[in-house]
Chains A and B, each alone.
Chain A
Amino acid sequence: MSTNGCPSPIELERAFDAADPGETVREHLDACPRCASRWEALQQLADDAAELGAVLDAPVRDAPDHAQARAALLAAAGASMPARGPRPRPRALPVVGAAAALLLLSGAALAATLALRGGGPAQHATVTALDAAAFAHFGDTHDEVIRVTQGRVLVDVSPLDSDERLRVIVGESEIEVVGTAFEVRADRDTLRELRVFHGRVELREAGVTQTFEAGDRLTRPGTAAPIVANAGAPAAATPDARGDGADIAVQLPEAAPAAGAPVTATNAPAALTAAREADHVAAAARPSPGRGSAAARATAAPRSQAVAAPRPVREAAAPGGAGAPPPEPARSVEAATAGTRREAEPEAEREFRAGWAALQSGDFATAADWFGGASRRGAALSDDAAFWRVVSLARGGRTQAAAADAGALLARSPAHPRAAELHLLLGGWYSADGRAADAYRELSVAAADHGDVGRAARAALERLQSSAGAE
């Protein structure tokens, strides 16, 4: 208590925060209007704070959102996992050829891949991200799981023992590795294609297990295929099929970075992904070598129950035995075009990466030069490189050159994923130059964006209009 008999503010607050302020304080509050008033103010503040806390509470997440956020978290954690420990055993050499063939088929440049080694000390698979892939790699040899949500990864598997298992999971589909090499393509976390090159795999969906052997191919239409009804327990993996090493290419098409995406280091690899995606589409456009008989076997469900199950289509057997990948079909016009462009890809990728490194190190002039070079190659990442050249020029203080490049890029590629950002930048520069009409035009376009860019543009427009009104 102070000399006038009142508790100090801190003492009063301690009493306020206590579960029971005590008889002495209660009596004092009855006798002292000043302290009673402060007590009441504290109570009002606490009540308002509690109510504010309730209002500000984020909406309760429903289960799908939580599951989605959880999967994204694990994928991000997996992608950022550092290298760990040596692989337990060397992979089987014969399968290396299959993996190399897969890479060639997909047109990926191995030298430009991002190698992210995942897994703990006792795992069979070494996972290499071929682009800005998002995946999680967990478990041990007894139940090792690779969960891929985005991008393409190469999974290199050492031989499994009979009591060990390895699964690759994409969305609701689960692929059990049974000593094999196969390719998986997914679209938005949904399995679209499965091609088996060597050995066999078991595909499980909603309790239905299908076995695919060398040469089998499962294809699905572009829209999400429904999962078949539950029709019994999954079949056990076949122990005698284990023991071979395996290489698996998991190929998931990925879109270019979304407009308005934050400027992060992952954007650069994502831009490279877009380049490879073009190759993937070109490869998919090649004529099919023909259709054979369906060879997959549903090991758990009767056919009648698997009404929505995809109908597997087996490709013609590859020359050279079941262990070899399918033959390269005759080159179509699209493939030929893609081939020409592929020749420019490695150089463009190299320049893009050099530009990115220069940008990150703050050497904006060099970055602009590298990105300019990558852009001029005419490769699939040309527009991305052009965008980052604009950014580099702007950060280097060369706004006039940046504005000219931004205008040219928008004229050439009006649907550029970052068009809204470019319009916003142009609006800002024009505004600073006193070119109100031009600024208004650019900001109006950017204002149509639904994210941060749109909000920034709308606010800038308001300021532009209010300053025009003031004049």
Chain B
Amino acid sequence: MSARARSGELVSLDAARTRADERRDAEARASDGLRRCARGDMTALGELFDLYARDLTRVVAKLLGPTDADVDDLVQRAFLAAFTAAPHFDGSRSARAWLIGVAVNVVRNERRARARRSRLAGAFGWARPTDEDPRQALECRSELRQLDACLRRLSEPLREVFVLSQLEHLPATAVAEALDVPVGTVHRRLHDARAKLLELRGVDA
């Protein structure tokens, strides 16, 4: 191995260590922030927002659709819900995973509310199209558009696991913590999601 390659490896190793340190530091601050939120400290809520607003925005956007007008609103709702539920955070789970779980629940509730509204709108004689997501960014790639369409045909539990695991690249343990299910359940749902997606894509399983 050349010195240059070794040097590159060392640099990337250092970078990985730095990232890991940053993650640990963020996790410690988030855990502390949630404990302070439980005491009603709103500066802690602001710090949590600074730490994880982008993460939660990504998760919500992927579950709901990036062009959905309500993404920011749902992210705010997720943080408010976390602030309210902070006394229930016992520190046994990762704070980030716990926050992602709160966001997933918020999206889940929003989907159900939309479904109810959609049924009500149907009673007026027209479908409410606000649930439709144009996802114009996907127009350029038919495979991605197809995968996106297939994802939306998955059941909610399978879609959540697949999105968190394969689109958001969370490890199975973190997905399990976020969704508050055993790791085995995550593996099973991921397998079922893949099988369904491959079937929908016409791949012989």
Contact = CB atoms under 8 A, between A and B. Distances in A.
B191 A9 contact: yes
Nearest to B39: A120
A455 interface: yes
Contacts of B129: 455-456, 459
Contact of A77 (B50, B54, B72, B83): B83
Interface in A69-89: 69-70, 72-74, 76-78, 80-81, 84
Contacts of A136: 42
Interface stretch (B18-26, B92-100, B101-109, B140-148): B140-148
A287 interface: no
Interface residues of B, number: 60
Contact of A76 (B80, B126, B141): B80
Interface string A40-77: 01100110111111011110110000100110111011
Nearest to A51: B144
Interface string A142-181: 0000000000000000000000000000000000000000
A46 B54 contact: no
B173 to A, nearest CB: 12
A46 B197 CA distance: 11
Contacts of A58: 54, 57-58, 61, 66, 71
Interface stretch (A96-104, A199-207, A227-235, A425-433): A425-433
A456 to B, nearest CB: 6
A55 B166 CA distance: 13
Contacts of A455: 129-130
The majority secondary structure among interface residues of chain B is helix
Interface residues of A, number: 52
A463 interface: yes
A10 B197 CA distance: 15
A452 interface: yes
Nearest to B204: A37
Contact of B80 (A50, A60, A73): A73
14 contacts: A10-B187, A48-B143, A48-B144, A50-B169, A69-B76, A76-B80, A77-B80, A136-B42, A137-B42, A139-B43, A428-B126, A452-B69, A455-B129, A456-B126
Interface of A: 9-10, 13-14, 17, 37-38, 41-42, 45-46, 48-53, 55-58, 60-61, 66, 69-70, 72-74, 76-78, 80-81, 84, 120, 136-139, 425, 428-429, 431-432, 451-452, 455-456, 459-460, 463
Given A13-B190, A45-B166, 17 more contacts: A9-B205, A13-B194, A48-B143, A51-B144, A52-B144, A52-B147, A52-B148, A57-B62, A57-B66, A58-B57, A61-B54, A69-B76, A74-B42, A76-B80, A432-B125, A456-B129, A459-B129
Report the 4 A-B pairs with minimum CB-CB distance, sorted nearest first.
A53-B167, A459-B129, A49-B166, A432-B125
